[in-house]
Structure 1
Amino acid sequence: MSPIDTIRFNETPEGVDLGLRVAGPVPRALAFVVDLVVRGALYLVLIPLTAFAGVGLGLMLLGFFLLEWFYPVLFEVLKGATPGKFAMGLSVVHDDGTPVGWSASMIRNLLRAVDFLPILYGVGLVSCLVDRDFRRLGDLAAGTLVVHRERARGAAAIPDVPSRPLPPGLDLQTQQAILAFAERGPRLSAARRIELAEILTAEEGRRGAAAVDRVAGWASWLARGQG
């Protein structure tokens, strides 16, 4: 089945599902433009080095090289994102959700030379569009993802809807799933909410918005300690 939203789940060794919302080509392209402006400003700072006879040109070219290839690596490993990605609310992580390391960041950024072909990241754009997680070739080789950074949120709240008694015989795991659905619902796409609600109400055969409303009512019942 094709994914109906951009949230990918990875189970941690502790048994916790870690949700990662992968970033598409548009925010990544905007982040690239911001980084291009930042690097351009730094290039201008280095140009006056040519005034130093003999070594000046060499120092400037060395600075250009380091900026081009190690600017993204340094920021991704130490901060999780370049200034451009940070401005767009993005981060680079391993595909299991762990922070990106030196080797993975080096691989994904060295392969930018291939992703850039034939011009303006043509290969990278095609790769992003055909891959379900919007990965360019560098990401595929390095095992990395570009994801939306989670913003700090207050405690999740159960929607204030009329309570509905639970069907008899629901086990604890299913009750926990109902509460999790109600808490995460506002962050899911409408199609994803319906899909999950229909799974939870399968025995009643409810479909669409009716399934979502029924699960919300069950969650309200549980949240009030009536389960």
Structure 2
Amino acid sequence: MLNHGLENREYIKLPEGVDIAITPAGVVARSYAYLIDFIILGLVLIAVSSVLAFLGDAGQGLILIAYFVISWGYNILYEMENGQTPGKKRLKIRVVQDNGLPASFSQIVVRNLLRPADMLPIGYFLGLVVMLFNNRFKRIGDWAAGTMVIYEDELEARPELSKGQVHVPTVSLTTEEQLAVLAFAERHDELSDARRHELARILAESFATDENNIEWQLLSYARHYAGQVNDNTGYPPQEGKP
């Protein structure tokens, strides 16, 4: 797992060898989501209680049953579908496993059954304290269930790279280094010659290579990371025309 600086973004390597990026949701976003869910849950309970109140003494017993079922089932029902209650969906956050994969039904149940522990002694005080002392903002229920709440990042389409020769790097790069190479290739035509040479020299250090044709090499590596295949373009290109 790699941390991504001030953004608190982390890269997690899945068993399949694929890296995924996640951003843990902080206290503010989760508090707003909880407030929205609290209001919705309160309105539902008021509506159900108003209807059952007409049934007299039997209605009072049904109200207690409905309160138990709705208050405990609300979060479990929504989160087991896609990890999002209405409040979480509004804030674009969701519950996932610690490895970034969708949370299982048993994990959803455990994290919600332990809500009373997070609410000790009152108003989620203990849960908030625990969240503030870890960089993934996990409450007690999350620690027990092996879950966390992350932002539902919107996927942005990356600029299409120019076609050309594709080469596989001879050294293994970290996810952040691969992203840096891709960013260099995507912005290559927008940069001045001096800025391109400066960035290329910095990136060349990761490959332990000289600076001859390093710009062309970086572009060919970026095409590999972008999933392109060789089109038999000549190698190397003319000087200054990567």
Task: Give the match for residue 181 of structure 1.
Answer: 180
How far 1:131 sits from its partner (Å)? 0.9
More displaced stretch, 176-185 vs 126-135: 176-185
Q: Distance in 2 between the 1:31 and 1:216 partners?
A: 47
Q: How does 1:1-227 map to 2 (within 5 A)?
A: 4=5, 5-48=7-50, 49-154=52-157, 156-157=158-159, 171=170, 173-174=172-173, 178-183=177-182, 200=203, 202=205, 219=218
How far 1:11 sits from its partner (Å)? 1.5
Normalising by the residue count of structure 1, what TM-score does the alignment of the two structures yield?
Answer: 0.73
Contact 1:77 1:99 in 2 (8 A): no
More displaced stretch, 4-13 vs 29-38: 4-13
Cα deviation per residue 1:54-95 (whole Å; 9 max; x = unaligned)? 321122111111121111011000132110001000010111
Task: Give the match for residue 192 of structure 1.
Answer: none
Q: Distance in 2 between the 1:12 and 1:203 partners?
A: 24
Q: Distance in 2 between the 1:50 and 1:216 partners?
A: 75
Cα deviation per residue 1:80-139 (whole Å; 9 max; x = unaligned)? 211000100001011112211221111111111111112221111111111121101110
Q: Distance in 1 between the 2:78 and 2:180 partners?
A: 35
Contact 2:82 2:102 in 1 (8 A): no
Q: Distance in 2 between the 1:111 and 1:25 partners?
A: 18
Task: Give the match for residue 166 of structure 1.
Answer: none
* Partner amino acid, structure 2, of 1:23: A
Larger radius of gyration: 2
Q: Secondary structure at the match of 2:149?
A: strand
Q: Distance in 2 between the 1:121 and 1:176 partners?
A: 37
Q: Distance in 1 between the 2:175 and 2:135 partners?
A: 29
Identify if the C-alpha distance between structure 1 residues 203 and 140 changes in structure 2 by more than 3 Å, giving closer, same or farther.
closer
Q: Distance in 2 between the 1:198 and 1:24 partners?
A: 37
- Point out where structure 1 has 5 or more consecutive residues left out of the alignment: 161-169, 186-196, 206-214
Q: Distance in 2 between the 1:198 and 1:36 partners?
A: 54
Q: Distance in 1 between the 2:174 and 2:149 partners?
A: 33
Identify if the C-alpha distance between structure 1 residues 203 and 66 changes in structure 2 by more than 3 Å, giving closer, same or farther.
closer
Q: Distance in 2 between the 1:198 and 1:68 partners?
A: 59
Q: Secondary structure at the match of 1:55?
A: helix
More displaced stretch, 35-44 vs 49-58: 49-58
Identify if the C-alpha distance between structure 1 residues 176 and 29 changes in structure 2 by more than 3 Å, giving closer, same or farther.
closer
How far 1:40 sits from its partner (Å)? 1.1
Identify if the C-alpha distance between structure 1 residues 216 and 143 changes in structure 2 by more than 3 Å, giving closer, same or farther.
farther
Aligned length: 199
- Point out where structure 2 has 5 or more consecutive residues left out of the alignment: 163-168, 185-199, 209-213, 224-232
Q: Distance in 1 between the 2:58 and 2:105 partners?
A: 30
